[in-house]
Amino acid sequence: MSDNPRSSIHGQWSSRWVFVLAATGSAVGLGNIWKFPYIAGENGGGAFVLVYLLCIVVVGLPVMIAEIMLGRRGRQSPINTMKVLSREEGRSPLWQLLGWLGVLAGFLILSYYSVIAGWAINYVVEMASGTFSGTSAGQVQTVFDELLADPLKLTMWHTLFIIATMVVVARGVRGGLEKAVMFLMPALFVILIILLAYAMNNGAFMEGLAFLFTPDFSAITGKGVLIAMGHAFFTLSLGMGAIMIYGSYMRSQDSIARTAIMIVVADTMVALVAGMAIFPIVFANGLEPGAGPGLVFQTLPLAFGQMSGGLFFGTLFFILLCFAAWSSSISLIEPAVTWLVENRNIKRVTASIVCGVATWGLGMGTVLSFNLWAEVKLFDMTFFDLLDFLTANIMLPLGGLLIAIFAGWAMSHKSKENEMATRHVFAFNGWNFLLRYVTPLAVMVVFLQSTGLLAKMTG
């Protein structure tokens, strides 16, 4: 056990398992079920999936361990954790900026995440009311297009989702979500397996598998590699302090590395199963794998609409998707709320309202980007595209890079060993090596390569 005497003013998880559940709840979300399939589809499948898996192992896991470790050692909001740890290690106070970058990224991500979660809420209603029973691909497309064209409907669901998120955050994570997540995550997994079975029997299963797992390197671009790496951070909730703040509520005696591995495995499984359920349906119905953000909302209703018991399972699926998004969204705003509580001396409730209102307002930009502002573009991207690109592909990898450098280089060996308290010297050294050399190098190479700079530098 570490001899770190600090404790968090915000509380502590009641057991090791609660931390695993909460962190898995944060990791498993829209990223796995909505985003992963459509970006894999847009970037040609197999090769993209391979790069993504590589990034999970080489970059994601080491950074996850580092982020939990920093959080548990600092035991405060990410900004103050970086302040305390940099002082303790005799480093520049500028490391606090890492915390600020994270808080900003959390705001930006939640603002659009909430709008997409709103789509999922809308689909609960559509599913339950039988809109999709015996439907065709064309009809499913129309329902989706009509939703995006309706700013009022989008705003309504976005508002509802932000309120739901802030209510949980205001009550403290332990107040209710702990218990909900414990039941919901396994349930989501079971439904995914049912969908997988459906896809195996009724979809073009082999074609789907081939698309996902046969790497065709000519199908992937430099930008595709950047998106794969960005997604590794996004799907594991890394690079902005979410896992750091969750780590700050972790008990001192629990093993960080083993816990991190469990979270990473669970998250990756959910994404792969989602992909294996969705692509067979895509191919069997002559849909486009590169359909973009609407992909799951266009494929799954089709499958449910034809399945016996589809009304029930479909409704349940979208309810669970909402819950998966919910248990993720709270972690996006928790760093900002804890900072306000620590530094502005205001109550958690007040801090939650302030953060909620701000994110809600920003989210309106995403709502409008699908309709009234659809033609307003910067660098050829809509407001939503821009936020998504900036956060997932720039801010999170940058945050992760800084975390790796801080934990790998700025922190003394002694502090790290002390906090990790592991008897497995070989594993510790392996992790430290990845963190110092492999992770930073991988992130930098991907950055340079995607901007075309690497090609210029090597002539």
**Site residues for ligand TRP per CB under 6 A:** 26-27, 29-32, 109, 234-235, 237, 240, 242, 328, 331-332, 396
Q: 354: which residues sit within 8 A by CB, 6+ positions away?
A: 340, 346
Q: Minimum distance between the CB of residue 32 and ligand TRP, rounded to whole angstroms?
A: 5
Joined together, the tokens standing for residue 45 give 């499948």
- The answer to whether the beta carbons of residues 308 and 290 sit under 8 Å apart is no
Taking the least distance from each CB to ligand TRP, the nearer of 124 and 284 is 124
- Greatest C-alpha distance within the chain: 65
Taking the least distance from each CB to ligand TRP, the nearer of 140 and 195 is: 195
> How far does CA 126 lie from the centroid of its chain?
26
Residue 239 CB, nearest approach to ligand TRP (Å): 6
Closest CB to ligand TRP among 26 and 393?
26
Note whether 80 and 342 are within 8 A (CB).
Answer: yes
- Cβ 181 to ligand TRP shortest distance, Å: 13
CB of 376 to ligand TRP, least distance (A): 25
254 versus 267: smaller Cβ distance to ligand TRP: 267
Q: At its nearest, how many Å lie between ligand TRP and the CB of residue 332?
A: 5
- Helix then strand then coil, % of the chain, to nearest 5: 80, 0, 20
Identity of the residue, 128 or 167, whose beta carbon is nearer to ligand TRP in the bound complex? 167
Q: Which of 340, 339, 356 lies closest to 163 in space, CA to CA?
A: 356
Closer by beta carbon to ligand TRP, 122 or else 237: 237
Closer to ligand TRP by Cβ: residue 234 or 297: 234
Cβ–Cβ under 8 Å, residues 191 and 316 = yes
Nearer to ligand TRP, 126 or 388 (CB): 388
| Among candidate residues 98, 117, 67, 57, the one with its CA nearest the CA of residue 328 | 117
Residue type, 140: V
Residue nearest to ligand TRP (CB): 31
Q: How far is the CB of 396 from ligand TRP (least distance, A)?
A: 6
Minimum distance from residue 319 beta carbon to ligand TRP (Å): 16
DSSP string, 414-448: HHHHHHH--S-HHHHHHHHHIIIIIHHHHHHHHHH
CA angle, 165 then 67 then 431, to 5°: 145
Distance CA 163, CA 165 (A): 5
Please state the closest distance from residue 336 (CB atom) to ligand TRP, in A: 12
Q: Residue 6 contacts by C-beta under 8 Å, 6 or more apart in sequence?
A: 73, 74, 75
